[in-house]
Amino acid sequence: MQLARVIGTVVATMKAPNMEGVRLLIVQPLTRRLEPVGQPVVAADALETAGPGELVYIVGAREAAEAMPNRFVPIDHAIVGIVDAVEVAAGGGPVAGQPS
């Protein structure tokens, strides 16, 4: 799992039948110091509560579909948690948390 920031939403009317009702968000993967890394990806919101600007963690590959109520949905990234805080031990780097 990796940290990511929600940076947008995707609206798609025509999509695979199993994807109906799946909330799609654009997320930017982050380093553990919360710096953007790599390309943004479209992730399904398994929690149905994540919104733009929020710090979340995502899971990729087959496990993304495991997060959804219908386990046979064609997705490859899912938001599986909303981050309250990232607590880094001494010497491990800056402490970062959810913006207020």
User: How close are the terminal C-alpha atoms of the chain, in Å?
Assistant: 24
Q: Does 66 bind other proteins (CB under 8 A)?
A: yes
Q: Shortest gap between Cβ of 98 and other proteins (angstroms)?
A: 9
**By CB under 8 A, which span of 6-14, 19-27, 63-71 interacts with other proteins?**
63-71
Strands 96-97 and 55-60, by their bridges, are unpaired
Given the rule CB under 8 A, which residues bind other proteins? Answer: 1-3, 31-32, 46-47, 49, 57, 59-64, 66-67, 71, 78, 80-89, 92-93
